[in-house]
Amino acid sequence: MAINIFKKEKDKKSAPAPKKEAKAAPVKAKTAANPGRKISDSAARLLKYPHVTEKASSLAKNNQYVFKVAKAANKIEIARAVENSYRVDVASVRTINIGPKRKRRGKGIAVIPGYRKAIVKIKEGQTIEVMPK
């Protein structure tokens, strides 16, 4: 008796496979104190990091926060990035272009590249925790 390995057996009774149900994703509350917040890719590209200086910390008392941002970022993009990443309402944005500086390194001259800063004012009663405690 020869066995045909290419022949499919239809005689076996098999139980139907259970249907997979779509699971609903848990909804997270949007709060400013949500430590598990996820920053979008565009916000991460635009906002490099908070610019922490003595002057910037004194501006924080007036609901103004300073960030280093991408050179190509405009005010509207910066406002949206801050709103999305920190869950606050932005009142205004001011930008400053800091030019490159030339420094002496021994006999040669090195160029420290410039950057762009943004001073973001948020609405009263809201805060951004720049330095985590």
Strand partners, 112: 101
Domains of the chain, by residue range, sit at 41-122
pTM for the full model?
Answer: 0.65
| Cα separation, 28 vs 53, whole angstroms | 33
| Cα separation, 28 vs 88, whole angstroms | 16
Per-residue model confidence as pLDDT tens for the chain (133 residues) = 567 777 766 655 555 666 666 555 555 544 444 454 556 677 778 888 899 999 998 999 999 999 999 999 999 999 999 999 899 999 999 999 999 999 999 999 999 999 999 999 999 999 888 766 5
CATH topology of domain 41-122: Alpha-Beta Plaits (3.30.70)
